Structure 1
Amino acid sequence: MSLVTTPFGPKSTTDEVLDGVDLSGRRVVVTGAASGIGAETARALAAAGAQVTLAVRNLEAGREVAARITAATGRADVTVAPLELTDPSSVDAFTRAWEGPLHVLVNNAGIMALPDLRRTGEGWELQFATNHMGHFRLALGLHGALAAAGGARVVAVSSNAHRRAPVVFDDLHFERRPYEAWAAYAQSKSANALFAVEAAVRWADDGITANSLNPGGIRTGLQRHAHLTPEMQQIFDTYDWRTPEQGAATSVLLAASPLVEGVSGRYFEDCAEAAVAAGPEVPTGVQPHAVDPDAAARLWKVSSELMGL
């Protein structure tokens, strides 16, 4: 199976990717859209004609972003809805309130490399709970709306950091191993990629495609809690940082571009499908553990059991 390529690359912007794309009549949900590449993803999709809902923790910040999107695009149908991914009742309230079809779900929200081990009320490690478990519950709750849309797309924002750790099924929540900030973040980002692999299989008959992506390095609020070890500080100092418009380009490609119509279960970076990397030291591509179909099926089962679904 050949890799999917496009005319776009690492420096392409959202507007370049969506040039000529008409999303009129399409309904979109973007999580974490109150800042960073989530806000830019929402703006770009609205500019292309989509009716966008910003699913956010901070309603005030979300409303400010919505107002800016309306001012920039002229679209008055940009809405804001509360969503706390670590609170199952909040996720369920969001999905119950949704009416009608949903054409695109962008699972964008996330937290990165918290310096200290933090847990939810269920005892789940906070990064895994936020980045994977909350989005998993959200996607399952919106499955009916996605199926009703016909040809819906789910986009899972992963990270190049996934290469640092697989999903450790024997100790998902650091109950027996020492907590390490970047290992926890990497595990959650591997989970994002595995979710797309299994969703592509389970939801194919519903006409739903699911893909994951690495947006690249963008200086946003995501780094505000990050624990920068000397190794990570050196990486950050030399990173080829992108603008939000460049960082969100692969997200909007997967959300809306006709160039990836029907593509599902793949991992993208730089606006193209990534090759499977030869080892963890390889700085680009996707590690085998993040696209392993057996691990993907196991994660789906484990996640469902943890949530009692």
Structure 2
Amino acid sequence: MTASTPVSTPFSRETTALEVVRDLDLTGRRAVVTGGASGIGVETARALAAAGADVTLAVRNTEAGQRAATDITGTTGNDRVLVAPLDLADLASVATFVRTWDGPLHMLVNNAGIMASPEMRTEQGWEMQFATNHLGHFALATGLFRSLAAAGGARIVSVSSSAHLRSPVVFDDIHFRRRPYDPWAAYGQSKTANVLFAVDATRRWAGEGIYTNALMPGAIRTNLQRYVSDEDLARLRAESGGGDSPSWKDTEQGAATSVLVAASPLVAGVGGRYFEDCQEAGPNQPGTRTGYAPYARDPEAAERLWEVSEEHLRG
């Protein structure tokens, strides 16, 4: 597939994650799903396990993770579903996860996130949404680089959102130290960072056989929205399909694009792109909430974000 050829699939917004993997055999492949205990994370993990993959649920709440793992094993018959502690807002936790991982990693699904939260900060003073949604996943992916490279054809899934249309990464004040804190602007720039990561990770790592893509899973009611008011939810629903979306997706449909990007041969050798409804999306058109913002795939911004992220991790 050439760099300019858009990815087209037989799937749609109604497709479920299990339908994406129906004809796939992932036996012998290993996957990590962050936030895999609930929402679209658990359905992503379930589909990968159903296709035979070894799946590790990387979660803050290991009790919830174990319940999810037991449920996945019960529904798929795959007992190679493990649970490991991971708090993306805590770099020591990320470092421990990386240190204890052994062997190749074929699929890293950066799924966990926090959305439109009240103003919170990490111990370093970093704004919590940017720290969790981007920096924690950045530390995880870079820390697991050798394992990804050893897999031969590894994929990283960067779960973004149409909310990235709300804000570029504001490099002059990422952590809202000078500008007033806005929960949606903070969420938006963290989701833009997820797309930019996919762009520069592919540039840097494609030579090692590692490809990264970003995606918008769709409007799904999950625990991600625990900080979001009913009024905001109604507005998000209206925006989710350009104002005429008939309904939100369920979690099985919401996980489908993640699973497509993680495992489908239709996305083999493809990186640095943005997917929606199991298709590669084009640039955003005025008046819509679909497609990607040009600033989210700007290679210069992507390289700058990578360098800024490294500076954060160096302290």
Instruction: Select the residue among 301, 304, 311 that pairs with 1:298.
Output: 304
| 1:40 equivalent in structure 2 | 43
Residues in 2 aligned to 1:129 and 1:101: alpha-carbon distance in whole angstroms = 26
| 1:234 equivalent in structure 2 | 235
Specify the SS of the correspondent of 1:241. coil
Residues in 1 aligned to 2:158 and 2:307: alpha-carbon distance in whole angstroms = 18
> Percent of aligned positions with the same letter in both sequences?
61
Distance 1:205 1:238, change over 3 A: closer
Amino acid paired to 2:149:
A
Residues in 2 aligned to 1:259 and 1:226: alpha-carbon distance in whole angstroms = 35
1:237 Cα deviation from its structure 2 partner: 6.2
Specify the SS of the correspondent of 1:62. helix
Specify the SS of the correspondent of 1:154. strand
Residues in 2 aligned to 1:273 and 1:130: alpha-carbon distance in whole angstroms = 26
Unpaired runs of at least 5, structure 1: none
| 2:215 equivalent in structure 1 | 213
2:294 pairs with 1:288: yes
Aligned residue runs from structure 1 range 181-220, under 5 A: 181-220=183-222
Aligned residue runs from structure 1 range 230-269, under 5 A: 233-236=234-237, 240-269=247-276
| 1:174 equivalent in structure 2 | 176
8 Å CA contact 1:54–1:78 kept in 2: the answer is: yes
Specify the SS of the correspondent of 2:69. helix
Specify the SS of the correspondent of 2:114. coil
8 Å CA contact 2:239–2:289 kept in 1: the answer is: no
8 Å CA contact 2:17–2:47 kept in 1: the answer is: yes
8 Å CA contact 2:219–2:236 kept in 1: the answer is: no
| 2:18 equivalent in structure 1 | 15
Residues in 2 aligned to 1:62 and 1:238: alpha-carbon distance in whole angstroms = 32
8 Å CA contact 2:115–2:225 kept in 1: the answer is: yes
2:309 pairs with 1:307: no
Amino acid paired to 1:234:
R
Specify the SS of the correspondent of 1:219. coil
Two-structure CA RMSD over aligned residues (Å): 1.3
Residues in 1 aligned to 2:207 and 2:5: alpha-carbon distance in whole angstroms = 23
Distance 1:238 1:282, change over 3 A: closer
Specify the SS of the correspondent of 2:109. strand
Instruction: Select the residue among 63, 82, 89 that pairs with 2:66.
Output: 63
Residues in 2 aligned to 1:121 and 1:212: alpha-carbon distance in whole angstroms = 28
| 1:96 equivalent in structure 2 | 99
Residues in 2 aligned to 1:189 and 1:111: alpha-carbon distance in whole angstroms = 10
Amino acid paired to 2:108:
L
Partner deviation per Cα, 1:236-267 (whole Å, 9 max, x = no partner)? 36753001110000000000001111011101
Residues in 2 aligned to 1:117 and 1:258: alpha-carbon distance in whole angstroms = 41
User: Runs in 1 of length 4+ with deviation above 3 angstroms?
Assistant: 230-233, 235-239
Residues in 2 aligned to 1:272 and 1:82: alpha-carbon distance in whole angstroms = 32
Instruction: Select the residue among 76, 92, 95 that pairs with 2:79.
Output: 76
1:3 Cα deviation from its structure 2 partner: 1.6
Partner deviation per Cα, 1:88-123 (whole Å, 9 max, x = no partner)? 100000000000000000000001001x21110111
8 Å CA contact 2:196–2:305 kept in 1: the answer is: yes
8 Å CA contact 1:113–1:227 kept in 2: the answer is: no
1:63 Cα deviation from its structure 2 partner: 0.1
1:172 Cα deviation from its structure 2 partner: 0.2
Specify the SS of the correspondent of 1:225. coil
**How many residues of Structure 1 are paired with residues of Structure 2 in the alignment?**
306
Normalised by the length of structure 1, the TM-score is: 0.96
Amino acid paired to 2:207:
D
Distance 1:17 1:83, change over 3 A: same
1:227 Cα deviation from its structure 2 partner: 5.0
Specify the SS of the correspondent of 1:297. helix
2:147 pairs with 1:145: yes
Residues in 2 aligned to 1:13 and 1:233: alpha-carbon distance in whole angstroms = 24
Residues in 2 aligned to 1:236 and 1:282: alpha-carbon distance in whole angstroms = 13
Normalised by the length of structure 2, the TM-score is: 0.95
Partner deviation per Cα, 1:133-160 (whole Å, 9 max, x = no partner)? 0000000000000000000000000001
